[in-house]
Amino acid sequence: MTPDVVVDVGNTRIKWGLVSGGRITEVVAFDHDDPVGWKRCCELWGLTASARWALAGVVPRVMYRFEAWLTAHGMSARAVTNDLFNGDVFDDNVPFEFVTAVEEPEQIGIDRLLTAFAAWRRAPLGASAIALNVGTAMTIDFVESSGMHRGGAILPGPRLMARSLHEYTAKLPLVEIDPELPVTIWGENTETAIELGIANAILGVADQMVWDWASRRETPPAVFATGGDAGYFRGFVFTADVSKFEIDPTLTLDGIRLAAEALP
């Protein structure tokens, strides 16, 4: 299947990506319930009932609602699910090239698999891939050069960190998140101290885990960052040697495109 539109239903927003020439050419984000915005975007992009949609996401109730909206407007979507990465949608003689090795593959977030898959497809030949996705949660996923997804790590994203500090303390304020590489060593007031702490938490865990993975590989890995708050990594230099580092806000959407193209 070659999709015209790919849709990522995330914890906070729904993202659409318009596909043309084998790449994502336009991206727009909506609230979970925005049928007026959805209709306007369809008109703006010139989408008709013949448009081919590929859909993936981590919020089932929102996915069902969106699929119902598509159906009501004479359109339908092909869902990309975890089954693809378990080999369940293929005949035994046609294995999928990317497979996850986590203990409960049906439980892992499809967004993690799709982001890791896209990162692996972009890695230089012979290099493993590391995918960093900084959103509501931050996920880090590792893929061998062979296409074996090993697993990764999950931690709160920067906005969730900021909110928890505010809600679970008596006096700490809720700070606005401005994802930029920090340039100071310490915060001179409470707000900047929180901002600096969150930034270094995000960067520090990524740098340590990239180091741990790279130190066990002969070829430096390729690292890819995405998500609404991936700006922390703009200008960042990893301690470990990496073969490539790229920030791409369309990485997960491109993973949906690539996965949809692999569907039988």
Does residue 83 have an active-site annotation?
Answer: no
Q: Which of 4, 92, 111, 178 is catalytic?
A: 111
- The gap from C-alpha 74 to its chain's centroid, in whole angstroms, comes to 29
Residue with the two structure tokens 């401005």: 178
Alpha-carbon span 108 to 181, nearest angstrom: 30
For residues 160 and 229, the answer to whether their CB atoms sit within 8 Å is no
Sequence-distant (6+) residues with CB within 8 A of 255 are 113, 114, 115, 116, 117, 118
Q: What's the burial of 90, exposed, middle or buried (CB within 10 Å: 0-12/13-18/19+)?
A: middle
Amino acid (one-letter) located at 12: T
Alpha-carbon span 59 to 14, nearest angstrom: 10
Question: Three-class SS of residue 144?
Answer: coil
Residue with the two structure tokens 């593959």: 105
Sequence-distant (6+) residues with CB within 8 A of 191 are 173, 175
Question: Three-class SS of residue 243?
Answer: coil
Catalytic (active-site) positions: 111
